[in-house]
């Protein structure tokens, strides 16, 4: 991962090759890798405070090793007696330029209070391990208490959320989970969202899960699918085009929304991810989901554009991305998103609803894209989302006419959606 491979892919490849690891070891490995990336800035500050700055540790593997022992010390409360057997040589074969006694000192030496920056944004960026530029940009949008709560939420390993699938209701799914000894609770801001309260991996062994009644899906993603509904009535029987379907999470949810009398047309520029969507639809026997190329946009009543974005709202799940993002890359995402909307504008039929969505917290990819699109492409208007959600939920979810699901007010990642109606 430190050499540039995405955390998710690097972890998947490493675990695939580590055939001897059991389930508990695999879960701990995944947690440790995410945590080391998530808290990287704070761990490196502690390392410098102890006299072992990363710049003086030659190998990336050894930098990771120091971060690991510091994470075990600072975040797990483990002593060298516990950490030592996990990292001591001979251990697994790996590049190594630092000795066990240095690691022992990193764990056992008194740790003075690190010198923290005085300014609000930089202090928060250090405390919660985010790049300065990103926190400074968010600080322009939110007062410090709101900003700190958001960063704290994005600095935690996220809870798995699920969507209760038809037929039946969320209450029935919760009751069946309880019968199987899985503690779960409803997430009130989304009508089908479920949170597993403890030992979430156990849910995958339940009959409810194996029957296809539960789907892993962020709360914000569920809200984006809900934003595709008509203001009155339902999506049943309609045709929806999922333009950037990815691995198919929203595609499956849309298929449940339109029912067997409707159609979902899914496409994506990534063949690999679209292959995953095909397989998921096949496993659930969703025959009303198809993958035509090119997508026949003129047939769609609703077009969902879940655009490629910076992913700043998903940094709790993919913490490595915050160290790869730059302000310039955000500008590039804006241009890509705007071009995508402009390309689709001429293809959709009059009266069609275009739902533009991202998992970004930044207005450059959200409000500004909608504003620039409306300025360049005549014939579209913004439809407010508040009437769809109702007064109580809209107070939590809506900012002006848009959906703006921000953590921790909405559990999980941060998401944005706008409804654009073609006249």
- The pLDDT mean for the chain works out to 92
**76-114: pLDDT as tens digits:** 999 999 999 998 876 555 667 888 899 999 999 999 888
Percentage of the chain lying above the pLDDT 70 cut = 98
pLDDT range class, residue 199, cuts 50, 70, 90: low
Per-residue model confidence (pLDDT) at position 200: 66
Mean predicted confidence (pLDDT) in 211-221: 94
CA angle 250, 13, 221 (to 5 degrees): 15
Per-residue model confidence (pLDDT) at position 93: 57
User: Rounded to an integer, what distance in angstroms lies between the CA atom of residue 357 and that of residue 218?
Assistant: 14
Mean predicted confidence (pLDDT) in 158-167: 90
Bond prior to 408 in cis (omega within 30° of 0) = yes
User: Rounded to an integer, what distance in angstroms lies between the CA atom of residue 319 and that of residue 8?
Assistant: 10
Whether the pLDDT of residue 157 is over 70: the answer is yes
Beta-strand relationship, 184-186 and 214-216: unpaired
**28-42: pLDDT as tens digits:** 999 999 999 999 999
Listing DSSP states for 243-291 in one string gives: TT-TTSHHHHHHHHHH-TTSEEEE--S-HHHHHHHHHHHHHTT-TTEE-
Per-residue model confidence (pLDDT) at position 94: 62
User: Rounded to an integer, what distance in angstroms lies between the CA atom of residue 323 and that of residue 36?
Assistant: 12
């Amino acid at each position: 991962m430190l050499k540039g491979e995405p955390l998710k892919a690097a972890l998947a490849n490493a675990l695939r090759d580590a055939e001897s690891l059991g389930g508990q070891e695999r879960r701990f490995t995944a947690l440790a890798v995410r945590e080391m990336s998530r808290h990287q800035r704070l761990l490196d500050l502690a390392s410098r405070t102890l006299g072992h700055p990363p710049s003086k540790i030659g190998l990336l593997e050894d930098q990771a090793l120091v971060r690991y022992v510091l994470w075990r010390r600072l975040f797990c409360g483990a002593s060298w007696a516990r950490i030592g057997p996990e990292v001591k040589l001979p251990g697994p074969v790996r590049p190594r330029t630092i000795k066990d006694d240095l690691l022992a000192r990193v764990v056992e030496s008194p740790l003075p209070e690190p010198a923290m920056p005085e300014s609000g944004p930089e202090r928060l960026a250090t405390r919660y391990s985010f790049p300065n530029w990103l926190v400074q940009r968010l600080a322009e949008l939110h007062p410090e208490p709101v900003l700190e709560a958001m960063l704290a939420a994005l600095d935690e390993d996220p809870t798995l959320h699920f969507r209760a699938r038809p037929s039946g209701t969320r209450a029935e799914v919760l009751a069946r989970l309880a019968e199987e000894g899985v503690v779960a609770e409803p997430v009130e801001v989304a009508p089908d969202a479920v949170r597993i309260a403890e030992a979430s991996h156990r849910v995958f062994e339940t009959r409810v899960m194996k029957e296809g009644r539960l789907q892993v899906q962020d709360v914000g993603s569920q809200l984006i699918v809900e934003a595709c509904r008509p203001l009155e009535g339902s999506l049943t029987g309609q045709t929806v085009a999922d333009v950037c379907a990815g691995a198919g999470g929203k595609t499956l949810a849309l298929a449940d929304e339109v029912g067997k009398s409707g159609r979902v047309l899914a496409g994506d520029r990534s063949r690999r991810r679209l292959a995953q969507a095909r397989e998921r639809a096949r496993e659930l026997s969703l025959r009303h989901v198809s993958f035509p190329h090119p997508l026949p946009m003129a047939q769609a009543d609703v077009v969902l554009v879940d655009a490629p974005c910076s992913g700043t709202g998903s940094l709790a799940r993919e913490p490595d991305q915050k160290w790869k993002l730059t302000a310039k890359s955000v500008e590039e995402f804006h241009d890509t998103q705007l071009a995508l909307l402009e390309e689709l504008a001429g293809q959709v039929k009059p009266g069609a609803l275009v739902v533009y969505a991202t998992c970004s917290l930044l207005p450059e990819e959200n409000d500004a894209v909608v504003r620039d699109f409306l300025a360049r492409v005549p014939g579209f208007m913004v439809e407010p989302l508040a009437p769809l959600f109702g007064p109580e939920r809209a107070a939590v979810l809506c900012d002006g006419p848009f959906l703006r699901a921000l953590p921790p007010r909405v559990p999980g990642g941060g998401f944005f959606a706008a409804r654009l109606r073609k006249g």
